[in-house]
């Protein structure tokens, strides 16, 4: 199974984004279309690793806040769904990812779509799986799609 550990800010939006939700920076539909292209070419499942996960619920959708509902709606328009989320350990996003992978029984190919390199990424071997976008340079772009597909098709 292919997995995408998805950050939101700096990936599905950027400094140029006009979309807003509840006073927060929203999600760009064109970036969601690029994410959909990765999923289409790799049949990957989306795991939320972003700080947006704090209010996102896997089963109890009525307990989500408007930001989480907005995220689900934006993705659904492109036929995308988040299947799960990592636990939250603050600045230890690498730990969140590794712990998630250790607690599933299927061998997976995986990538991380993120605009940041967290302090534990290098130590935990996350960097070789990272497709690094930029909040200040347009977020997710076609070149990232190409790299993500390549990594998911080649990584073990």
Predicted confidence (pLDDT) at residue 155 exceeds the cutoff of 80: no
**Per-residue pLDDT tens digits for 83-117:** 999 999 989 999 999 999 999 977 779 999 999 99
Rounded to 5°, angle at Cα 58 from 66 and 80: 80
For the purposes of burial, counting CB atoms within 10 Å of the CB of 57, is it exposed (0-12), middle (13-18) or buried (19 or more)? middle
Q: Which two three-digit tokens encode residue 65?
A: 């806040």
**Third-level CATH fold of 2-154:** Rossmann fold (3.40.50)
Please state the domain extents for the chain: 2-154
C-alpha span between 148 and 111 (Å, rounded): 7
**Per-residue pLDDT tens digits for 3-60:** 999 999 999 999 999 898 888 899 999 999 999 999 999 999 999 999 999 999 999 8
Taking alpha carbons only, the member of 56, 57, 116 closest to residue 91 is: 116
Rounded to 5°, angle at Cα 79 from 73 and 80: 70
Q: Please tell me whether residue 56 adopts helix, strand or coil conformation.
A: coil
């Amino acid at each position: 199974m292919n997995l995408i550990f998805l950050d939101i800010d700096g990936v599905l939006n950027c400094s140029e984004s006009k979309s807003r939700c509840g006073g927060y920076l929203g999600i760009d539909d064109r970036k969601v279309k690029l994410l959909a292209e990765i999923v289409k070419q790799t049949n990957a499942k989306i795991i939320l690793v972003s700080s947006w996960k704090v209010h996102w619920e896997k089963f109890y959708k009525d307990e989500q806040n408007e930001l989480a509902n907005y995220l689900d709606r934006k993705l659904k328009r492109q036929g995308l769904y988040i299947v799960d989320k990592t636990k939250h350990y603050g600045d230890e996003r690498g730990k969140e990812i590794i712990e998630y992978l250790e607690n599933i029984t299927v061998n997976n190919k995986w990538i991380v779509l993120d605009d940041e390199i967290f302090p534990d990424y290098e130590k935990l071997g996350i960097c070789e799986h990272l497709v690094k976008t930029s909040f200040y340079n347009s977020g997710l772009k076609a070149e990232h799609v190409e790299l993500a597909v390549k990594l998911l098709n080649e990584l073990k």
